[in-house]
Structure 1
Amino acid sequence: MNKHPESDMSLVLQALNQQQVIAYPTEAVFGLGCDPDSEQAVEALLTLKRRPREKGLILIADNYQQLLPYIDDSQLGEQRLKEILACWPGPVTWVMPAKASTPDWLTGRFNSLAVRVSDHPLVKELCQQFGKPLVSTSANLTTLPPCRTAEEVKQQFGDDFPVLHGAVGGRENPSEIKDALTGQLIRQG
């Protein structure tokens, strides 16, 4: 276990700035992330996960303001927006209308984008220091279970993979996913 988390942070930030994919602890499992504004980085993540581009991705952020360049909350009523903001920070992902300028490497075949404001301290610090949200998907290769430790990430992705060491939060299940326009549950958390 790395005893110097500040050096981990600088290494993963450097990797993000070099359009690389990184791993970091979230509320339930380790996530894979990258710069959402870099098509090259997102393509590398999709290739690593063997995930089709048309499925779309999730952005994870430190605060709601970090998500505003990507989402169009003008389509939401005041009450729905209050409901969304009341869940954050926390383990609820909302599928929100995407801005027309949001690239399709994030939205896939949809005109919406899944977003979450995390309450995990390392995710918050990482997004604060990077200055924007990260793409977030579970850290696991196809057919393998999601990683819950940095050691599992190294086993699946190799010793040189950039990892922010730390413990995952206490959640057993991935985040709940809800539709921001209707409030309907898409995935149970």
Structure 2
Amino acid sequence: MQTATPDRLDMETAVRLLRNGDVVCYPTETFFAVGCSAFDVFAIERVFQAKKRSGSMPLPVIIGSREQLGMLTDVNSGTVNRLADAFWPGSLSILVTASAAVPAILTGETGRVAVRLSPHPMARELCLAAGVPLVSTSANISGHPATTQAGGLDPRLVAGTGGVLDMPPAPQGGKASTLVEITGPETVRIVRQGPVTEEALLAAGFRIMP
């Protein structure tokens, strides 16, 4: 366990901040993320403010276990479950119908939320310890590059958070997660290309819609 400093948090402190409605930066499989409870409207607004991002844009979410998916959606989709069986934990985000508990600001008023079970062990542990799915958007000022190093975080962004959880393994960079939407039984449309390729989806038995 790390020792907390003014900007550097240990896991226990990061969890306490999240439970108290604060915002933290934390590592994911690709880049550092900034996030908060997926159900806290005021904390979500702070994420937008820290990133200087338009509040009309939806924010993605990570979960720490398959069980936490039920906190975000009331729809028990067989196709979602089969995608999760094939690719989670991993860099596949799935658009699901948001439950009434999910604030509209998180979905950009679309009624849907992009969720993935992150392969990063500390990101998953943070979700589980906080007891909620977490907003997981890249920890950068909008229009600026994301970073794989805590030392590369923009001080202006960090100033809008409770601090930084910097625990190994370090983010590896690369493409953002593949994003898919369900268009029918065993059928998806790729909204954003990423590490999970069309070929991998086809090999797992899914049909791809243009």
TM-score, structure 2 normalization: 0.79
Cα distance in 1 between the residues matched to 2:157 and 2:127: 22
Does residue 12 of the first structure (1) align with residue 23 of the second (2)?
no
Cα distance in 1 between the residues matched to 2:147 and 2:92: 20
Q: Which amino acid in structure 1 is aligned with residue 191 of structure 2?
A: I
State whether residues 61 and 134 of structure 2, in contact with CA within 8 Å, keep that contact through their aligned partners in structure 1. Answer: yes
Cα 1:156–1:176 change in 2 (3 A) is farther
Q: Whose helix fraction is larger, Structure 1's or Structure 2's?
A: 1
Does residue 31 of the first structure (1) align with residue 33 of the second (2)?
yes
Find the counterpart in structure 2 of residue 139 from structure 1: 139
Does residue 65 of the first structure (1) align with residue 67 of the second (2)?
yes
Give the match's secondary structure for 2:82: helix
Cα distance, 1:125 vs. partner?
1.1
Equivalences, count: 186
RMSD, aligned α-carbons: 2.3
Any residues of structure 2 matched to 1:1-189 within 5 Å, and which? 3-4=2-3, 8-74=10-76, 76=77, 78-153=78-153, 155-158=155-158, 161-166=162-167, 167-181=169-183, 182-189=187-194
Identity over aligned pairs, percent: 31
Higher relative contact order (CA 8 A, sep 6+): 1
Cα distance in 2 between the residues matched to 1:126 and 1:100: 24
Give the match's secondary structure for 1:55: coil
State whether residues 22 and 163 of structure 1, in contact with CA within 8 Å, keep that contact through their aligned partners in structure 2. Answer: yes
Cα distance in 1 between the residues matched to 2:110 and 2:95: 10
Cα distance, 1:91 vs. partner?
0.8
Cα distance in 1 between the residues matched to 2:80 and 2:20: 37
Larger radius of gyration: 2
Cα distance, 1:31 vs. partner?
0.3
Q: Which amino acid in structure 2 is aligned with residue 123 of structure 1?
A: A
Give the match's secondary structure for 2:188: coil
Give the match's secondary structure for 2:72: coil
1:107-136 deviation line (CA, Å, top 9, x unaligned): 112021110111101011111111111011
Once the two structures are overlaid, the 10-residue window that deviates more, 15-24 or 150-159, is 150-159
Find the counterpart in structure 1 of residue 197 from structure 2: none
Give the match's secondary structure for 2:90: coil
Cα distance, 1:97 vs. partner?
1.4
State whether residues 72 and 97 of structure 1, in contact with CA within 8 Å, keep that contact through their aligned partners in structure 2. Answer: yes
Give the match's secondary structure for 1:73: coil
1:13-33 deviation line (CA, Å, top 9, x unaligned): 122123121100101100001
Structure 2 portions without partners, runs of 5+: 195-210
Cα 1:23–1:80 change in 2 (3 A) is closer
Once the two structures are overlaid, the 10-residue window that deviates more, 167-176 or 129-138, is 167-176
Cα 1:128–1:172 change in 2 (3 A) is same
Q: Which amino acid in structure 2 is aligned with residue 12 of structure 1?
A: A
Cα distance in 2 between the residues matched to 1:102 and 1:157: 24
Once the two structures are overlaid, the 10-residue window that deviates more, 105-114 or 79-88, is 79-88
1:51-103 deviation line (CA, Å, top 9, x unaligned): 223221111011121121211333x3x34531233211111111111124422
Find the counterpart in structure 1 of residue 206 from structure 2: none
Give the match's secondary structure for 2:165: coil
State whether residues 84 and 180 of structure 1, in contact with CA within 8 Å, keep that contact through their aligned partners in structure 2. Answer: no
